[in-house]
């Protein structure tokens, strides 16, 4: 009796576009295994799907006295420059705002038991990582995640990373309002968006429900959105203080205020416009200068605002 694959078992349970993307990735993986895709190109492909190298990538391990070669089953086949095919890898899973349903958490735990070392690594961006994963298991991992509404797409690479928020969102007594639906909308609006495909580096977005508590660290992000309200024509309207250009690293910058009140309707179009500016004017060659904070520093806030508003799909 022929064994049923996860692709067959989950047919119809995965979003059509997600299923198609995973099928394409699996085809690319097979082509790389046959030597029909250049290793550098495949490395970029797998990284945009959240698939990292991990330990002993070069096929050697130091035993305390000398380096010894590891005999991997696939020999000299690589999944990227100096990254052996069979070297233990890592799969990063996007968890928007770090929030999971019981079904999603159960699925991730099953994956950790079946493909990893039974440990879930929680990251500073509210993601979850599975370590010691073999690359040939990653398509099925992605399918099983997709079936419960989770994705690994753009968990790495020059892309919009996981959208984070204050861990007390929705229950904090100091918040202007619950930012959960806005952060979730931002995550899925920017996921795979055509205006994010030509970034020179990663791009990080965070949401906070209140200005006085720094739980979400919005001032350290490329885009930071802080919930606020304003009375307009006698009606209380929700909106966000919108900050740009923050970041840590070797050259830290605090984010600067781009707009003191961005309405609910303007939030996604404005972020799309910011992404367009980053894709067009961001550094592509020198990775150490390729973050959005350097675009903000170079242009200054007035010129940046002009560029953003001129390219916005929803002019203000």
- pLDDT mean over 161-176: 94
What's the pLDDT band for 2 if we cut at 50, 70, 90?
confident
Residue 31 confidence (pLDDT):
96
Flag whether pLDDT at 315 surpasses 70: no
Flag whether pLDDT at 106 surpasses 70: yes
Q: What beta strand segments (E) does 196-306 contain?
A: 205-208, 223-232, 235-244, 256-263
pLDDT digit string (tens) for 67-92?
Answer: 888 888 998 898 988 888 988 899 99
Q: Tokens 């799969």 sit at which residue?
A: 91
Backbone φ and ψ of 38, nearest 5°? -60, 140
Helix (H, G, I), strand (E, B) or coil at 84: strand
Backbone φ and ψ of 114, nearest 5°? -90, -30
Q: Which among 63, 62, 66, 44 is positioned nearest to 53, based on CA atoms?
A: 44
pLDDT digit string (tens) for 257-308?
Answer: 999 999 999 999 999 999 999 999 999 999 999 999 999 999 999 999 999 9
**The domain 164-311 is classified under which CATH number: 1.10.600.10, 3.10.290.10, 3.30.413.10, 1.10.3720.10?**
3.30.413.10
Residue 60 confidence (pLDDT):
81
In the CATH scheme, what architecture does the domain 6-146 have? 2-Layer Sandwich (3.30)
Domain ranges of the chain: 6-146, 164-311
Flag whether pLDDT at 316 surpasses 60: no
pLDDT digit string (tens) for 121-148?
Answer: 999 999 999 999 999 999 999 999 999 9
Flag whether pLDDT at 1 surpasses 90: no
Residue 231 confidence (pLDDT):
95
Query: Above pLDDT 90, what percent of the chain?
Result: 83
Other CB atoms within 10 A of residue 60 CB: 12
Residue 53 confidence (pLDDT):
83
Flag whether pLDDT at 181 surpasses 80: yes
Residue 116 confidence (pLDDT):
96
pLDDT digit string (tens) for 19-48?
Answer: 999 999 999 999 999 999 998 999 999 999
Q: Which among 127, 274, 269, 275 is positioned nearest to 197, based on CA atoms?
A: 275
Query: Above pLDDT 70, what percent of the chain?
Result: 98
Q: What's the whole-number average pLDDT of the chain? A: 93
What's the pLDDT band for 194 if we cut at 50, 70, 90?
very high
Residue 36 confidence (pLDDT):
95
Residue 304 confidence (pLDDT):
97
């Amino acid at each position: 009796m022929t064994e049923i694959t996860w692709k067959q078992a989950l047919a119809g349970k995965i979003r059509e576009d997600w299923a198609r993307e995973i099928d394409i990735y699996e085809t690319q993986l097979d082509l790389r295994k046959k030597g029909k895709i250049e290793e550098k190109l495949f490395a970029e492909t797998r990284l945009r799907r959240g698939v990292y190298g991990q330990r002993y990538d070069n096929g050697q391990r130091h035993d305390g006295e000398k380096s010894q070669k590891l005999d991997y089953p696939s020999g000299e086949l690589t999944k990227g420059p100096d990254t052996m095919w069979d070297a233990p890898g890592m799969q990063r899973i996007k968890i928007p705002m770090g929030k999971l349903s019981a079904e999603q958490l159960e699925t991730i735990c099953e994956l950790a038991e079946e493909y990893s070392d039974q440990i879930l690594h929680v990251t500073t961006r509210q993601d979850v990582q599975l370590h010691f994963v073999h690359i040939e298991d990653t398509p099925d991992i992605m399918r099983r995640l997709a079936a419960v509404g989770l994705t690994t797409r753009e968990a790495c690479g020059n892309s919009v990373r996981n959208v984070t928020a204050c861990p007390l969102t929705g229950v904090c007594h100091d918040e202007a309002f619950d930012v959960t639906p806005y952060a979730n909308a931002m995550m899925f609006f920017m996921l795979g968006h055509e205006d994010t495909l030509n970034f020179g580096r990663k791009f990080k977005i965070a949401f906070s429900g209140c200005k006085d508590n720094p739980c979400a660290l919005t001032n350290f992000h490329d885009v930071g959105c802080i919930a606020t309200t304003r009375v307009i024509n006698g009606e209380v309207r929700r909106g966000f203080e919108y900050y740009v250009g923050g970041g840590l690293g070797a050259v830290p910058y605090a984010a600067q205020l781009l707009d003191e009140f961005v309405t609910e309707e303007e939030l996604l179009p404005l972020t799309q416009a910011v992404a367009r500016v980053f894709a067009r004017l961001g550094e592509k060659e020198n990775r150490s200068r390729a973050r959005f904070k350097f675009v903000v520093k170079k242009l200054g806030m007035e010129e940046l605002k002009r560029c953003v508003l001129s390219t916005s799909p929803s002019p203000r």
